[in-house]
Amino acid sequence: MSFLHRLRKLFHRAAAETELEREIAFHLEMETRALERTGLPADAARREAMRQFGGVHRAKEECRDAWSIRLIDTLRQDLSYGWRGLRHNPGFAIIVILTLALGIGANTAIFSVVNGVLLRPLPYAEPERLVSLTQSASKTGQSSIGFSVPDFMDFRARNRGFSAMSEYHSMSFILLGGAEPEQVQTGVVSDNFFDLLGVKPILGRTFRPGEDKPGAEPVLMLSYHYWQTKLGGDRSVIGRVFQMNNKPHTVVGVLPPLPAFPNENQIFMPASACPFRGSPDVLTHRTARLLSNVFARVKDGVTSVQAEEDARRIGLELCSQYPESYPTNDGYSVGLSSVARAFTGNARAGLLLLLAMSGFVLLIACANVANLTLSRLLRRNREFAVRLALGATRGRIVRQLLTESIMLASLGGAAGLLLANLGVRGLLIYAHRFLPRADEVGLDGSVLLFAVIVTLFTALLFGSRVRFPADGDVVGALKDGSRGTALAHSRFRALLVIGQIAVSVPLLVGAGLAAHHLYNLQTVDPGINTSQVVAANIALNWTQMDTFDKRFAFWNHVVEEVRALPDVDSVAVSGAEPLNGLTNYTSNFRIEHQGSSAEGASPHAIILASTEDYFKTVGEPLVRGRYFNHGDAHTSPAVAIINQALANHYWRGEDPIGRRITFDNGQSWVVVVGIVANTHQRLDADTLDELNIPLSKTDGLIGATVLARTHAPPDTFAKVLRQVIHHVDPNQPITSVETLAQVRQGLLAPPRLTTTLLVLFALVALLITAAGIAGVLAFSVSQRTQEIGIWMALGATRGSVLWVVARQALILVGIGLLVGTIGALFVCRYMQSMLYGVPAIDMITFTVVIAILLLVSTLAALAPARRAASISPVLALRMT
């Protein structure tokens, strides 16, 4: 009943107000009459009645308090007050909203990426129990040597800590039966792979037990993406038969949308369907480590430490049982890594850095808004004093101020969300290629929640420092604006500015370090010609190109055809794309007449295979000896060309030419015939030891890069190159054709994005901080106008007044810099592993950052300082 009563009052405000008015008027009238009866004259009686009643306004206010469902009602009132206040002061509102929008927008955008990439749960059952096993040979720098089929069988049979285990590798096959022959990336897995992950098909079924056994009928599962884009989401696809590797394969199921893990597979097949996996060599040879991953689910009640111990035990057993098959001298070990962790990969550190930095921007923005709010508050002090005198309660005023803060923050948050949405879209267009799970990035519930929390947090942060004249001091406040509180506030505002500067330093340093890193990557001379060399990546059709002879003939044929083109200076085939994939394969070897070095690890190097003109084509100069030539055929004695780094490393002071090395412990020997100059195999690493072998001595390579050096414009030549390769054999798919300069640019994309964002954050921070400094100084000058006037009247020069103000700025900046530098050192340490060629404490960056901050704060101090210096002593003194 009473609730209804309140509601009625709430909705019939106008009526309730008149009733209250009439009720009080009636009381006053009655009282006046009573007093008149005691003999007072009419107007004296009226005055006395008013006096006895006390504050009519306060009474009314308290009556209203009694009626309403306070929250809603005062909120409504506060909102309309707040709105009116902001409309009176649109400049303030716009600046605050913009500042907050930038801060909140940056945070929300970065958070939505972090959310999609790092935080969203993986679409697997109990993903925290999913692990990937690795075999590694750590002393040779190989973090993963893969698994052979016998390895996998033993791990699966002997383990006690895992409830399921599946092999995995990914290959590219030609799929026939669609509109046209198509290259499909295929995940090759055990029959229990999807059960292990806990993935249910959206159509059909997953693989059945036994479907990965030799002789089983080949079946396929389609990825959601492939089903949607290539088959138009056709629901009758189950049972459809495609030709692959000269065998019919039946589609049995369609997968739900899944992240591209561990590779971007378009379809999946059971292990037995892969012709490569099924070859007798692969099935029996313990060192044929074709399988790239083994996935497993840790048993319930088994800790990850116990599971890892279990896997290690099996590794040790295998080592002692088959010592010749495991590289025990090279630090062979078995390890477990969490699948969840594998997902985020390299993106994690960079994203967390960006999130932290955007958080800093928000902090700085909040400090500024707090500053603005405070100075507005001081200007409104008189207003508050009047309202207090008229009977407003302090709580009521605090609440109204808080409402205003929340209003501003909400508007800022809404604008920020808009900004974030645009930002994320822009970011994804650019970052899609190199961000894992980029498809899952977007503004979802948790992002919205994040934005709301950040918004409220900012509102509280800048709205909480509210002070007014104490009740007793209302009169003082009415008389003399704001003196006392202004002093207390100005100390707090100085602290805010120091905080802004302190937070700006790590931001600027972070941006500086990233920029320095990017600069290094951009300017590093890899030692090869990138502008005139066009690279075409080709993945051969495995079934057609099933022998060395066929593959080798194909590559030679391409080389001949391309060489015949008019604009070609030189052409070669390489096992990997320069700058991009050269470090993918490393191997151990032994040097004749040299024991293993003291640490017990055998020499190891990047192994590269190429045809004879490779070095000429990419412009890698020969130091000594000779290049590969026509005589280095499949059946000729094996030869190798090493780089200068390797020569210096293992033949200090000796001549390596003519010396022999072995990869198989002396069963066969390779003669060093040449030394080439050092070049960068990667942009972000110094030259590594490198050992080149002729393509003729490999297995013929199923995938390779055709490199052609041309004096024609590279863009037009790229088209010609594509046509020529297509002409040699149209069934061999070309995955990309680009110049090495373009390859290089592509590799720069991720660091460029990180740097751009960090620099953007730093600029925003700098701008906001400068505004903060200028604001505080301007306020302090306006507070000290009289004081400055007196100085000047006593003979202070303009210069000394300028200096007083500038000194104030410098003190703030100095303290801020000191605190900020400590924070920046942490940033340095965190970023160290992400940077190339940047020293641990980068003096260049620090110097530039400090210089920029000093310069900017001096500029920010300029306007207020000049205003101080132009104060007229006469006018200033008259103000008293």
Partner 1 sequence: MSNSKSELLQGTLDLLILRTLAVNEAMHGWAISQRIAQLSRDALTVNQGSLYPALHRLEAQGLAKAEWGVSENNRQAKFYSITRAGRKQLGDETESWLRFSEAVGLVLKASG
Which residues here bind partner 1, judged by CB under 8 A? 1-2, 5-6, 9, 19-20, 22-24, 26-27, 29-31, 33-34, 52-56, 58-59, 62-63, 65-67
User: Residue 384 and residue 612: Cα distance in Å, rounded?
Assistant: 87
β-strand partners of 267: 186, 222
Distance of closest approach, residue 107 Cβ to partner 1, in angstroms: 43
CA distance 660 to 652: 15
Q: Smaller CB distance to partner 1: residue 30 or 822?
A: 30
CB of residue 5 to partner 1, shortest distance in Å? 6
| Phi and psi, residue 603, nearest 5° | -60, 145
User: In whole angstroms, how close is the CB of 401 to partner 1 at the nearest point?
Assistant: 24
- Please, what is the minimum distance in Å from the beta carbon of residue 62 to partner 1? 4
Say if residues 759 and 842 touch (Cβ distance below 8 Å).
no
| Of the candidates 553, 91, 165, 142, the residue with the CA atom closest to the CA atom of residue 326 | 142
Between 19 and 264, CB nearer to partner 1: 19
Shortest distance in whole angstroms from residue 39 CB to partner 1: 18
Q: Which residues contact 875 (CB under 8 A, 6 or more apart)?
A: 789
Shortest reach from residue 77's CB to partner 1, in Å = 17
Name every residue whose Cβ is closer than 8 Å to that of residue 640 and which is 6 or more positions away in sequence. 661, 670, 671, 672, 673, 691, 692, 693
Q: Which token pair is 89? A: 């002061």
CB of 394 to partner 1, least distance (A): 17
Which is nearer to partner 1, 73 or 439 (by Cβ)?
Answer: 73
Which is closer to partner 1, CB of 49 or CB of 417?
A: 49
Number of H helices, E strands in the chain: 27, 22
Report in angstroms how near the CB of residue 4 gets to partner 1 at its nearest: 10
Check the CA dihedral 810-812-813-819 and report its sign. positive
Nearer to partner 1, 67 or 322 (CB): 67
Q: Name which of 1 and 179 has its Cβ closer to partner 1.
A: 1
Tally the C-alpha atoms within 13 A of residue 521's C-alpha that lie toward its C-beta: 26
Q: Cβ of residue 7: shortest distance to partner 1, in angstroms? A: 11
Q: Least distance from C-beta 9 to partner 1, angstroms?
A: 8
Burial class (CB in 10 A: 0-12, 13-18, 19+), 184: buried
- Nearer Cβ to partner 1, position 44 or 453? 44
Amino acid at 821: T
Nearest Cα neighbor of 312 from 196, 155, 163, 131 is 155
CA-wise closest residue to 227 among 267, 259, 263: 267
Contact 203, 255 (CB under 8 A): no
In the structure encoding, which two tokens stand for residue 592, read together?
A: 């004749």
**Beta strands 293-298 and 130-137, pairing class:** antiparallel
Q: Which is nearer to partner 1, 17 or 182 (CB)?
A: 17
CB of 468 to partner 1, least distance (A): 23
**C-beta closer to partner 1: residue 19 or 383:** 19
**Interatomic CA distance for residues 224 and 859, integer angstroms:** 57
The residue among 49 and 221 lying less far from partner 1, judged by its C-beta, is 49
Residue with tokens 């033993």: 154
What's the CA angle centered on 169, arms 168 and 173, to 5 degrees? Answer: 135
Taking the least distance from each CB to partner 1, the nearer of 36 and 439 is: 36
Minimal CA–CA distance to 718: which of 685, 741, 686? 741
Minimum CB distance to partner 1 smaller for 474 or for 852: 474
**601 within 8 A of 329, measured Cβ to Cβ:** yes
- The least CB distance from residue 35 to partner 1, in Å, is 12
How far is CA 370 from its chain centroid?
Answer: 29
Minimum distance, C-beta of residue 389 to partner 1, in the bound complex (Å): 15
390 or 811: whose CB is closer to partner 1?
390
Looking at the chain, how many residues does it have? 880
Write the CA distances from 574 to 380, 390, 511, 696, 870, integer angstroms: 75, 87, 37, 11, 73
Nearest approach, Cβ of residue 17 and partner 1 (Å) = 12
Q: Which residues pair with 536 in a beta bridge?
A: 706, 737
Using DSSP, state whether 131 is helix, strand or coil.
strand
d(CA 700, CA 553): 9
Strand (E) or helix (H) holding 565? none
- Decide whether 52 or 665 has the Cβ nearer to partner 1: 52
Burial class (CB in 10 A: 0-12, 13-18, 19+), 472: exposed
Compute the distance between CA of residue 649 and CA of residue 597 in angstroms, rounded to an integer: 11
CB of 2 to partner 1, least distance (A): 4
Please, which residue, 56 or 402, has the CB nearer to partner 1?
Answer: 56
Nearest distance from residue 398's CB to partner 1, in Å?
Answer: 21
Q: 29 or 264: whose CB is closer to partner 1?
A: 29
DSSP SS3 for 10: helix
In this complex, which beta carbon is closest to partner 1, that of residue 58 or of residue 465?
58
Cα 404 from Cα 459, distance rounded (Å): 9
Closest of 377, 380, 297, 400 to residue 70, by C-alpha: 400
Q: Is the peptide bond before 262 cis (omega within 30 degrees of 0)?
A: yes
Quote the CA–CA distance of 641 and 32 in Å, as a whole number.
Answer: 116
Least spacing, CB of residue 392 vs partner 1, in Å = 14
